[in-house]
């Protein structure tokens, strides 16, 4: 058997026909089977599955749970326990029961790629995202060209996430994925572990559709259930601790950024990306408690970089400055954010003593009559207060100030 198409479904009565039809329309010079695992659906999903099984008895294999396993076991554990033992294919292709394939040569393209390139352990492709509530269809990834996936994108997925319905990997490698104590999602475990076995490849072709925010969908539950979201973050932290050991620290330098993205998602879901500073602090405190303060340094660093994006950041920060009393204030940056700070400072009859920039070559010697200093010519002392007022390059500036042993930084 060349390919095992694996589908995990639960209460997908409204969608499962289109999903299975996408499997059955595949064409190409290969043999494939369809394995569908139903996790004790309570709607009409099982009846539809039995209907297709009766029609395609040699093609479709059903695993029908009597009791819901997800409430007791992680998705990847369900996969390894109930599905993987039945897999006969050299390759595994995934598609969940509320997504569907729209290209009848999808499997053929991925099969051919893997057959011709032994170095590739896993490949993905682009997808369309469908939102029923606004009847909107959009492209999942806009700026990720076809080709090999870079190391940073294995962990961070900076160009856009890789749809589950596009997953196509070597069965033998998937069988060798270890059992980790904490699993954020099966997608992430497979992607990161398969990257330790070979190269990952991406087709910039939209060959599937992802239904966003379906009733039983992961994102829906994540946004509705704060405790689930906190647990997911905790599991992510624990997983990457174990994965870092498993991968012999091959991807270590990208893990902090991955955790930052996890904070972004939690913040967006339960506080809003445009939240107040006090709400951001509450958000980070949630995550400090749920991770038992094991990564407080990373969460504090997140605050120092992203607090400026809060809608009341300048008012909040100036209130802190007023409480600090004496000290000579200097703004780091001369762009839009520095102008915002000046406007708020002016409301309190406060004027900075100067501006600091990293590169003075293309900047004025004065701004609004206040001198501009290049950081390597600026003399830091304990009486000078430095306020970084910039978004782009903020992390780099904070590192510069740390290297200069600047003690009075206003975050």
The full DSSP string for 215-262 is: TT-HHHHHHH-HHHHHHHHHHHHHHHHHHHHHTTTTTHHHHHHHHHHH
Residue 102, in any domain of the structure:
yes
Cα diameter, the chain: 82
- Is residue 178 within 8 Å of 229, Cβ to Cβ? no
Residues 274 and 334 in one domain: no
Q: Which of 21, 207, 187 is nearest to 127 (CA)?
A: 207
Q: Distances from the Cα of 340 to the Cαs of 205, 346, 395, in angstroms?
A: 42, 10, 19
What are the pLDDT tens digits along the chain (411 aa)? Answer: 999 999 999 999 999 999 999 999 999 999 999 999 999 999 999 999 999 999 999 999 999 999 988 777 766 788 999 999 999 999 999 999 999 999 999 999 999 999 999 999 999 999 998 876 555 667 777 778 899 999 889 998 877 788 999 999 999 999 999 989 888 888 899 999 999 999 999 999 999 998 876 666 667 788 889 999 999 999 999 999 999 999 999 999 999 999 999 999 999 999 998 899 999 999 999 999 999 999 999 999 999 999 999 999 999 999 888 887 667 999 999 989 999 999 999 999 888 999 999 876 666 778 788 899 999 889 998 889 999 999 999 999 999 999 988 889 998
Please, which residues bridge with residue 210 across strands?
129
DSSP 117-156: -TTEEEEEEEEEEEEGGGTEEEES-SS--SEEPPHHHHHS
Q: What is the pLDDT of residue 216?
A: 63
Same domain, 249 and 110: no
Is position 175 within any domain? yes
Q: Is residue 267 located within the same domain as residue 228?
A: yes
139 has which bridge partners?
A: 128
Residue 410 lies in a domain: no
Q: Closest Cα to residue 367, out of 393, 395, 336, 411? A: 336
pLDDT at residue number 244: 96
β-sheet bridge partners, residue 63:
37
| Neighbouring-strand partners of residue 124 | 202
Nearest-CA neighbor of 6 among 35, 44, 41, 42? Answer: 35
User: What's the pTM?
Assistant: 0.87
Extract the tokens encoding 56. Answer: 């395609």
Phi, psi torsion values for 10, nearest 5 degrees:
-160, 120
Q: Which two tokens stand for residue 340?
A: 């915002």
Nearest Cα to Cα of residue 42 among 13, 16, 69: 13
Q: Which of 211, 228, 258 is the last residue of a domain?
A: 211
My answer on whether 279 and 377 are in the same domain is: no
- Same domain flag for 224 and 128: no
Could you tell me the CATH number of the domain that includes residue 380? 3.40.50.720
303 & 282 share domain: yes
Clarify whether residues 193 and 255 are in a common domain. no
The per-residue pLDDT for range 153-194, each reduced to its tens digit, is 999 887 778 899 999 999 999 999 998 988 888 889 999 999
Number of domains in the chain: 3
Q: At 301, which helix (H) or strand (E)? A: helix 296-306
> Residue 354 belongs to what H/E stretch?
strand 354-357
Find how far residue 234's CA is from the centre of its chain. 14
Please report whether residue 14 resides in a domain: yes
Domain of 300, in residue numbers: 219-309
Domain boundary among 211, 227, 251: 211
Helix (H, G, I), strand (E, B) or coil at 200: strand
269 and 335, same domain (yes or no): no
Whichever domain contains 39, its CATH number is 3.90.550.10
CA distance 85 to 311: 52
Residue 294 CB neighbour total at 10 angstroms: 13
Could you tell me if 96 and 38 are in contact, meaning their C-beta atoms sit under 8 angstroms apart?
no
| Nearest Cα to Cα of residue 168 among 238, 223, 95 | 95
- Residue entry with tokens 């198409």: 5
Residue 342 and residue 335 in contact, taking contact as beta carbons nearer than 8 Å: no
User: What's the pLDDT score for residue 365?
Assistant: 79
Q: Residue 127's closest CA among 185, 212, 193, 186?
A: 212
Last residue of a domain, one of 170, 191, 211: 211
Residue 87 resides in a domain:
yes
Which residues make Cβ contacts (< 8 Å) with residue 390, sequence separation at least 6?
Answer: 308, 332, 333, 335, 337, 338, 397
Predicted confidence at residue 294, as pLDDT, reads 96
> Does residue 241 lie within any of the structural domains?
yes
Could you give phi then psi for residue 60, rounded to 5 degrees?
-110, 130
- Indicate the length of the chain as a whole number: 411
Residue 97 shares a structural domain with residue 197: yes
Query: Based on the domain organization, do 180 and 292 belong to the same domain?
Result: no
Q: Would you say residue 272 lies in a domain?
A: yes
Q: Are residues 230 and 298 in the same domain?
A: yes
Q: Is the dihedral angle over the CA atoms 372, 376, 377, 381 positive or is it negative?
A: positive
**What pLDDT does 209 receive?**
94
Residue 332 and residue 305 in one domain: no
How far, in Å, CA of 194 to CA of 154, rounded? 10
């Amino acid at each position: 058997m060349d390919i095992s198409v694996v589908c995990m479904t639960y209460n997908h009565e409204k969608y499962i026909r289109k999903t299975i039809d996408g499997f059955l329309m595949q064409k190409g010079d290969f043999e494939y089977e369809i394995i569908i695992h139903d996790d004790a659906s309570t709607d009409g999903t099982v009846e539809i599955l039995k209907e297709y099984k009766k029609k395609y008895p040699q093609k479709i294999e059903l695993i029908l749970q009597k009791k819901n396993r997800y409430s007791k076991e992680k998705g990847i554990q369900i996969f390894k326990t109930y599905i993987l033992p039945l897999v006969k294919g050299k390759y595994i292709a995934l598609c969940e029961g509320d997504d569907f394939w729209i290209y009848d040569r999808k499997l053929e393209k991925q099969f051919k790629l893997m057959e011709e390139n032994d170095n590739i352990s896993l490949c993905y492709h682009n997808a369309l995202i469908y939102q029923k509530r606004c009847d909107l269809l959009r492209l999942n990834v806009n700026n990720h060209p076809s080709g090999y996936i870079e190391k940073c994108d294995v962990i961070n997925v900076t160009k856009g996430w890789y749809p589950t319905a596009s997953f196509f990997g070597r069965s033998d490698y998937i069988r060798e994925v270890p059992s980790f104590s904490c699993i954020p999602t099966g997608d992430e475990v497979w992607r990161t572990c398969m990257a330790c076995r070979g190269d990952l490849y991406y087709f910039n072709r939209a060959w599937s559709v992802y239904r966003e925010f379906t009733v039983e969908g992961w994102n829906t539950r994540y946004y509705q259930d704060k405790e689930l979201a906190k647990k997911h973050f905790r599991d992510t932290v624990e997983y990457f601790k174990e994965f870092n050991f498993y991968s012999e620290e091959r991807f270590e330098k990208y893990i902090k950024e991955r955790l930052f993205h996890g904070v972004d998602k939690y913040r967006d879901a339960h506080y809003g990306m445009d939240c107040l500073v006090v709400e951001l602090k509450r958000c980070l405190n949630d995550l400090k408690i749920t991770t038992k303060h094991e990564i407080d340094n990373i969460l504090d660093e997140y605050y120092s970089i992203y607090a400026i994006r809060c809608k009341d950041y300048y008012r909040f920060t100036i209130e802190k400055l007023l409480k600090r009393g004496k000290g000579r204030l200097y703004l780091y940056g001369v762009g839009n954010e520095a102008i915002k700070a000046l406007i708020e400072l002016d409301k309190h009859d406060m004027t900075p003593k100067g501006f600091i920039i990293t590169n003075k070559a293309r900047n004025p010697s004065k701004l609004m009559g206040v001198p501009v200093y290049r950081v390597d010519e600026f003399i830091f002392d304990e009486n000078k207060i430095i306020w970084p007022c910039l978004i782009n390059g903020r992390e780099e500036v904070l590192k510069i100030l740390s290297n200069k042993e600047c003690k009075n930084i206003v975050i």
